[in-house]
Chains A and B, each alone.
Chain A
Amino acid sequence: MNAPAELVRQHLIDPEICIRCNTCEETCPVDAITHDARNYVVKFEVCEGCRACVAPCPTGAIDSWRKVAKARPFSLAEQFGWDALPPETEPEAGGEAWIPDEVARITAIATAGQGGIAAPPWSAAHPYIGLYTLARPAIATCTGNYRLTADDASSAIHHIVLDFGKTAFPVLEGQSLGVVPPGVDASGKPHHVRLYSIASPRNGERPGYNNVALTVKRVTADRDGRPVRGVASNFLCDLKKGDTVQVVGPYGASFLMPNHPGSSIMMICTGTGSAPMRAMTERRRRRIGLREGGELTLFFGARAPGELPYFGPLMKLPKDFIDINLAFSRVPGEPKRYVQDLIRARHERVAAMLADENCYIYICGLKGMETGVDEAFADVCRRHGLDWAQLLPQLKAQARYHVETY
């Protein structure tokens, strides 16, 4: 993503796998693909990287990319002569070049807690990434917007439903999308894109509909408490039914849920960090009938019940489906409780889940929670004869520990 400017990704077709079915050439909207009697090839200067050819390819041969110097891509003559793709000169990180620098910057900050972008669980579904760009955003229509937090709560968190109509916008739980607020900033430039975690499962906020839900907190103050009006969050929270929104993405290839039967999920979140957790929980809830096994445990922190998004629906979930632990820090007359306190209180369950190879851990919320959670895990480990300093790298290596904080 922040590769030297002269390096670009060139789209190629793997001649060892291609069966010459012509589907890609038929599909390409800009006629960038051609063939001779031997190979199918991609015209570097014509291909826009729209990936319209990728899903229809029956073999996967089409999904081949090489980093090349922009001034010297592989020519058509070279590609026609290949029996196999040339070796990669450096390891590729799937799909990153499709991510705008700004999104990459935000992602780097958000994933710092796990040491940068990590691999997804082995049984995660394959995500689509960057289908829509700033130059070619998708247009979504608002079909629902209501406030989740109590009227007297200190923050206004909204549940917003965006419908993509006939535009394909495939998402997975844990992915984000970018919203481009309309208009320009004080210096006359278009507004920066803002990222929001998707709060609905892959088959839609309403099953079978082409829509997604977002959990958006109206920003009225900056981190130091000075009044400031968040451009994107206010735009979203003020949306009325029928209003349109420019959307880019989807993004995120790491914070994805496991799909294999028997896999368990531990979710730790605060505030709007609950969005991906809601998506994963809802995905599992819709599949209860399949009896795939695996457990869900949720640690969820907020100031008070009225400030906890989705408090009502959460309380209605069956107890044997999800183990819910709520921590409130500002309930009058009660001691302050944070998620880390509950992790310590539930040490037996937490230790068992940390030791379970099929359990995946997700942390999402304000940056401040990371240290507390880390210390709580260390305490739990000490109590159960485990070494957190040793365990954490293992969890990361097995793609079982995912952090997204802001």
Chain B
Amino acid sequence: MSINYSERIPNNVDLASNKTLQRALEHWQPRYLDWWREMGPERSATLDVYLRTAVSVDPQGWAHFDYVRMPDYRWGIFLTPPEPDRKVNFGVHKGEPAWQEVPGEYRSTLRRIIVTQGDTEPASVEQQRHLGLTCPSLYDLRNLFQVNVEEGRHLWAMVYLLHGYFGRDGREEAEALLERRSGDADNPRILTAFNEKTPDWLSFFMFTFITDRDGKFQLAALAESGFDPLARTCRFMLTEEAHHLFVGESGVARIIQRTCDVMSQHKTDDPAKLRGLGVIDLPTLQRYLNFHFSVTSDLYGSEVSSNAATFYSNGLKGRFEETKIGDDHRLEGAEYPVMEVVGDTIVTKHVPALTALNERLRDDWVRDVDAAIGRWNRIPEKAGIPFRFKLPHKGFHRRIGVFAESHISPDGRVLSEAEWTHRHREWLPTVEDHAFVQSLMGRVTEPGKFANWIAPPARGINNQPVSFEYVRFN
């Protein structure tokens, strides 16, 4: 299915046949561009960036590479082609034809789900808007911008649903998505993690590695939705999300690689010495990992949640890979283990699986993160360095859910207030850590050159050489 580029808004949803929707979006587009100019990547409007643009949704067409100025990027509306005779695959409506319109009784719930997802997209662009000024290479600068334009496109995807299916309420929500600001005390973004700062490239890579992976699991759950336009929209967004995960995972891996190289070269594992040599010591990386892992963990919500149960039973939000799971897809009588703090111990209890769907999605995500950390660990292993990265306990540094009121150590012990206060600096990035990482952030823009604290990637983008001029300055 090809995308109609002759229209102002490229799309594969036959926008031209729906004049009301087309005009609503054409009205929203200049406001979006205003937002991009104000809150998008700083001082980037005149750069020519070697970007991937979707020219159609089939395999050959959706990864089309060329130089683009970001304000001219073709943000559009792309849905995975419809699956004929698709059904609602879970919950009480299981077996009914998938909904092509919003069922009246679920209207406000669905709108809330879409707004919450949509709000994260511009939020991350805002969080990352200063990073271009301290890029460690042209290759990384290009990857940052690719992530940014695609988050912008994901906002478009959600706004299309709001405009197309939610009438006036939807249009108002679409406006509000452009008005909230990450970190703004008066009008913040909806989710806490999206109001945190992304002050440096290590945070950026950790964010794309861990927080965009939350995005992957949320989108995957929504791609199972009985509301077919939402499912198809999220399905296509997932293909773009994979690149963001790659940027994060390979970004941190390259930092680890560089540190391990310097450790081997200078035969030292002393953090102070390594910092003196201008690389980030592995324990600091572990502290950043602990922070991002715990903050992102909160995004899944409470372990036991009646909202999650309702979303599922009503067919709005499924489980990860719902249709590949071999059960009744209604969770009648099924149980799921969740943790709980009792006194100074953590116990596991079984609750109705229907109420534990947040926890289940979080567990799927933890498994995915853990596997990727296993891949990171191959780097020190290969270099003969005994250090291994390890995920902290699920209860560590949590603000939402059963652990919110307790202090849990990375190895899963319940701590007293005093011990937490005494030791948390060992586990979370300190002011000094942030200042050190910040001190490394210079700007490298010569093709093929990389900042001292990060190794070059194994391959360039789209099979181009690593030294390719991924961004052209004008």
Find out whether the CB atom of A260 lies under 8 angstroms from the CB atom of B469.
Answer: yes
Contact digits for A57-78, partner B, Cβ 8 Å, 1 yes 0 no: 0111001000000000000000
Q: What distance in Å separates the Cβ of A14 from its nearest Cβ neighbour in chain B?
A: 8
Q: B383 contacts the other chain (Cβ, under 8 Å)?
A: no
Q: B31 contacts the other chain (Cβ, under 8 Å)?
A: no
Q: What distance in Å separates the Cβ of B118 from its nearest Cβ neighbour in chain A?
A: 22
Find out whether the CB atom of B56 lies under 8 angstroms from the CB atom of A55.
Answer: no
Find out whether the CB atom of B63 lies under 8 angstroms from the CB atom of A56.
Answer: yes
Find out whether the CB atom of B459 lies under 8 angstroms from the CB atom of A55.
Answer: no
Q: B66 contacts the other chain (Cβ, under 8 Å)?
A: yes
**Of the residues A59, A122, A168, contact of B60 by C-beta under 8 Å:** A168
How many residues in B have their beta carbons less than 8 Å from beta carbons of A? 39
Q: Which residues of chain A have C-beta atoms less than 8 A from B239's C-beta?
A: 23, 26, 56
Q: In chain A, what residue has the closest Cβ to B1?
A: A166
Give the complex CA separation of A128 and B60 in angstroms.
10
Q: Which residues of chain B have C-beta atoms less than 8 A from A30's C-beta?
A: none
Contact digits for A273-301, partner B, Cβ 8 Å, 1 yes 0 no: 00000000000000000100000000000
Find out whether the CB atom of A19 lies under 8 angstroms from the CB atom of B48.
Answer: no
Q: A357 contacts the other chain (Cβ, under 8 Å)?
A: no
Give the complex CA separation of A150 and B459 in angstroms.
51
Q: What distance in Å separates the Cβ of B321 from its nearest Cβ neighbour in chain A?
A: 9
Contact digits for B222-250, partner A, Cβ 8 Å, 1 yes 0 no: 00000000000000000100110110011
Q: What distance in Å separates the Cβ of B312 from its nearest Cβ neighbour in chain A?
A: 23
**Of the residues A16, A58, A260, A290, contact of B242 by C-beta under 8 Å:** A58
**Of the residues A14, A59, A123, A290, contact of B246 by C-beta under 8 Å:** A59
Give the complex CA separation of A165 and B63 in angstroms.
18
Q: Which residues of chain A have C-beta atoms less than 8 A from B243's C-beta?
A: 58
Q: A382 contacts the other chain (Cβ, under 8 Å)?
A: no
Q: Which residues of chain A have C-beta atoms less than 8 A from B250's C-beta?
A: 17, 19, 59
Q: Which residues of chain B have C-beta atoms less than 8 A from A37's C-beta?
A: 371
Contact digits for B440-474, partner A, Cβ 8 Å, 1 yes 0 no: 00000000000000000011111111001100100
Q: Which residues of chain A have C-beta atoms less than 8 A from B378's C-beta?
A: 83
Contact digits for A257-279, partner B, Cβ 8 Å, 1 yes 0 no: 00111000000000000000000
Q: Which residues of chain A have C-beta atoms less than 8 A from B5's C-beta?
A: 208
Give the complex CA separation of A37 and B375 in angstroms.
12
Find out whether the CB atom of B60 lies under 8 angstroms from the CB atom of A170.
Answer: yes
Q: Is the interface of B mostly helix, strand, loop or mixed?
A: mixed
How many residues in A have their beta carbons less than 8 Å from beta carbons of B? 37
Q: In chain A, what residue has the closest Cβ to B465?
A: A122
Q: What distance in Å separates the Cβ of A60 from its nearest Cβ neighbour in chain B?
A: 4
The answer to whether A16 and B61 touch (CB under 8 A), given A63-B463, A126-B463, A261-B472, is no
Q: In chain A, what residue has the closest Cβ to B58?
A: A168
Find out whether the CB atom of B242 lies under 8 angstroms from the CB atom of A60.
Answer: no
Q: Which residues of chain B have C-beta atoms less than 8 A from A125's C-beta?
A: 65-66
Contact digits for B1-22, partner A, Cβ 8 Å, 1 yes 0 no: 1100110000000000000000
Q: A114 contacts the other chain (Cβ, under 8 Å)?
A: no
Give the complex CA separation of A55 and B60 in angstroms.
6
**Of the residues A17, A55, A123, contact of B458 by C-beta under 8 Å:** A17
Q: In chain B, what residue has the closest Cβ to A122?
A: B465
Q: Which residues of chain B have C-beta atoms less than 8 A from A14's C-beta?
A: 458
Give the complex CA separation of A131 and B61 in angstroms.
12
The answer to whether A53 and B372 touch (CB under 8 A), given A59-B246, A83-B378, A123-B469, is no
Q: A175 contacts the other chain (Cβ, under 8 Å)?
A: no
Q: In chain A, what residue has the closest Cβ to B247?
A: A58
Find out whether the CB atom of B464 lies under 8 angstroms from the CB atom of A58.
Answer: no
Give the complex CA separation of A22 and B368 in angstroms.
12
Q: Which residues of chain B have C-beta atoms less than 8 A from A170's C-beta?
A: 60, 64
Find out whether the CB atom of A58 lies under 8 angstroms from the CB atom of B245.
Answer: yes
Contact digits for A140-180, partner B, Cβ 8 Å, 1 yes 0 no: 00000000000000000000000001101010000000000
16 contacts between A and B (CB under 8 A): A17-B250, A17-B458, A20-B372, A21-B242, A22-B242, A58-B245, A58-B246, A59-B250, A60-B461, A60-B462, A60-B463, A122-B465, A123-B468, A126-B463, A202-B66, A208-B6
Q: Name B residues whose Cβ lies closer than 8 Å to a Cβ of A.
A: 1-2, 5-6, 48, 55-56, 58-67, 239, 242-243, 245-246, 249-250, 371-372, 375, 378, 458-465, 468-469, 472
- The list of the 6 closest CB pairs from A to B, nearest first, reads A168-B60, A21-B242, A55-B63, A52-B59, A58-B243, A58-B246
